[in-house]
Amino acid sequence: MSLARIVCVLLLVLSAGACAKRQKPPKTPVQPTVTAEPTPRRGICFVPRDPNAFAHPVRPHDWLSVLTRLELGRGGVYATRDCTGQVIRYTQARNCSVPKQEPAPVLSPMAEEAVIVRDLGANIFVVWVVTHRFQDGDGYGPIALARRHRDGIEVAAMGMLRMRTQRVKLESFSIKGQNVVLATGETCRRGPSDQNCERSSRVVLGVGQRLIDAPVVDPEGRCLQDASFELAKQDNRGLPSGLTRSFQYNANVTHDAKYVVVEERLVVRDLDSSGQGAPAREVQRIETNRFFEPVQGRLITRQNSLWSKAADRAQQLPSAAQRSGR
């Protein structure tokens, strides 16, 4: 082969390589490799990562690629499916909750604040991704227990969570070998003179590789409520005497070795609504604990809510004025 012919061949090869380097990237972003087949070690999903990056923290966009599949849409990037490929769609859980007549939640563009993470230590995490939002401010999306390995991140258990989205706190613990996730959040609305915040906790139970909304039932299996607990309530009722009876309720959700525990307190006061400025008089103060035993995806209790019991009973209590003989 002549030298001129060899030079021509080389020029063709080099030019082809240069053209290959100038090819435009695909418009659709390539998703990380996700293994969705459950294995003893890999859980529901597994996303490989460079072992050399193990010392680096997992960022919000990393968690998005672990728990969801993203799509580019009008106005941003949206998480439309979970890591198994299932469409993320809100359905009311059949968990003793009272059905609500309300519009379906709206798919929300992904942002850093949509990813809430709690590091539990030992490379285990609770992660909630808010993919949808309700008109009342509640968020909805996948919640998962995830485990970080040197070669990737495993989704060990996953479900869906609806909850308030401000000042969110995620916890996880085990009771008699059953995983329990406790999620707490609040919604704040600013009024003419002050800001009113409502805070609540929700209990989610691990059943195999699923995290499910737990129904609260009595020992005979009768529904009492869903596993959502308001942490503060207040109500005022007028009395025949002309006084106003005030009910102030506070709660805290915790746990011990056997039970999820709701610590409840109710304070009942009578207020003088005549405008004479008389101080409020305490009528009754009740403090109690409710115990909930996790059993096969349900929370079993023998106790009704202090709010539902005591508020009705306290309505029948004599007023402070009647007790003083006035």
163-213 confidence digits (pLDDT tens): 999 999 999 999 999 999 999 999 988 776 667 889 999 999 999 999 999
- Euclidean distance between CA atoms 123 and 293, whole angstroms: 28
pLDDT at residue 1 above 50? no
At residue 249, does pLDDT exceed 70? yes
Give whole-number Cα distances, 149 to 37, 155, 232, in Å: 17, 11, 40
Question: Judging by DSSP bridges, how do beta strands 298-300 and 215-217 pair with one another?
Answer: parallel
Distance CA 79, CA 70 (A): 5
* Pairing relationship of beta strands 223-226 and 215-217 according to DSSP bridges: antiparallel
**Which residues have CB under 8 Å from 130's CB, separation 6+?**
108, 114, 115, 116, 139, 140, 141, 165
Q: How confident is the model at residue 6 (pLDDT cuts 50, 70, 90)?
A: very low
Percent of the chain with pLDDT over 70: 79
What is the tens place of the pLDDT at every residue in 75-86? 899 999 999 999
Q: What is the pTM of this model?
A: 0.80
47, two tokens: 């996303």
* pLDDT given at position 278: 73
